[in-house]
Amino acid sequence: MKPMSSSFPSMKPDVTLSLTIPSSNPSHSFKPEERSVKLIQLLLTCANHVTSGNIHRADTCLRRISQLASVTGDSMQRLAVRFAVALANRIIRRWPGVYKALNHSEPISPNLGWAREAHSMFSKSFPYMTCSYVVLTQTLSKAMSWDRVIHIIDMGSGDPQLWAQLLTKLCHGPMGPPEVKITCVSINKKLLDDLGIILMKEAKSLDMIFQYNPLNVTLMDLTKDMLDIRPGEALAFVSILNLHVLLADDDHVDMHFKVNGDKDPTNENKKISEFLSMLRSMSPKLVLLIEQESDHNLTSLVDGFVEGLHYYSAVFDSIDTIFNIGEISGEDRVRLEDVVGKEILNIVACEGLERVERHERIARWAVRLSRARFKPVNLWLGAMEEAQQVIEGCGPVGYKVVTHRPGLMICWHDRPIYSISAWII
């Protein structure tokens, strides 16, 4: 098993600089609850010092955090490591030469194979994605049960588990197997190639007329012409934890981390507005959206930091729970936390166009979609009931499904983690 302390390949330089865990750890003098409160206080204080440009005091906070946090500790200790790494990254980015030198050995592009494997494991280990897929497949199959030519556009997930389930659902519809085309947009060419092989094989076994259209581009670069929309197709767009990347804007704060706290995050963003207008111009029958239910698209570092602590503490707690009941191994837990750790790093350390993890709550997405003249539609009741059954099958561990117009929330206890919504023109 790979040791947990080596689970930060993209963060090595900063961990070495700021987060070396001393052999004599003062954390033992605290009770777990006291230690968690102290870590939260130190993290928030550090974020305030980073915002004000007081790097010496921020460094002092990071040293104190390193004495209490641990990559092998409880969920709050592990979460504190991730947020401290992100704050250290943000500090070092003040000196681009130093930052680039420290990260010189790191690959320019992310390890797409690792990312795909990790996200696949994330979707299989957590009821969050299992529930989401149930809702998506049921809603799509019901909405298109009488259509004979169907075109689904996957805006970035590329998960064969989802689309193989949908093909099976559509095949057993009231009109028999329809003709189906799936377009998948991804920068990961291997993911696209592998997905095509799996779906072509699945369609053949179902005796279904099937076409696969892989697009090796980013959502930013996607155009209407690439999608090859043909007359008579019943069209649906599906975005799973991807549409928020279009909210990345050139709003880079200055090198002293001054921010404009008056900026409204729902103000018009040219790219997302143009993208949603492009979707509407193609007259889709349905647009399905899954997003992280949290406000990480804020201009104030401290506000976003507080929101992030609340959100990711719930995520880490849910990871800890499935680990403690034996649903995942220690190595799997590290890999799951690597996935969300990279989100934390981007949210806290980056600004401007580099900050792509700009999650927004469903209320803000409703504003954006309404401006683009989309209307919310109720999710199929049967899909929600089936999602509830998935949750109940996990046992009494804290997962919940809650209806919340214009969609539903998948929660950890009372904290919404993901939102699912459906939209029509």
Q: Convert the pLDDT of each residue in 267-283 to its tens digit.
A: 668 899 999 999 999 99
pLDDT at 299 over 50: yes
CA distance 46 to 347: 16
Other CB atoms within a 10 A radius of the CB of residue 416 amount to: 20
Strands 149-154 and 179-185, how do they pair? parallel
pLDDT at 290 over 80: yes
pLDDT single digits (tens) 208-228: 999 999 999 999 999 999 999
pTM for the predicted model, two decimal places: 0.85
Comparing 108 with 310, the larger pLDDT belongs to 310
Q: Tell me, what amino acid is at 317?
A: D
pLDDT at 251 over 80: no
At 15, the pLDDT band (50, 70, 90 cuts) reads very low
Domains of the chain: 10-108+300-350 (no CATH), 116-297+358-424 (3.40.50.150)
Quick one: pLDDT at residue 309? 96
Quick one: pLDDT at residue 9? 35
Quick one: pLDDT at residue 326? 83
pLDDT single digits (tens) 62-110: 999 999 999 999 999 999 999 999 999 999 998 888 888 877 655 434 4
Q: Tell me, what amino acid is at 282?
A: M
CA distance 27 to 225: 58
Q: Tokens in use for 34?
A: 């006291």
pLDDT single digits (tens) 376-402: 998 877 777 888 888 777 766 788 888
pLDDT at 423 over 60: yes
CB 123 within 8 A of CB 130: yes
Helix (H) or strand (E) holding 237: strand 234-240
At 352, the pLDDT band (50, 70, 90 cuts) reads confident
pLDDT at 121 over 50: yes
CA distance 294 to 315: 12
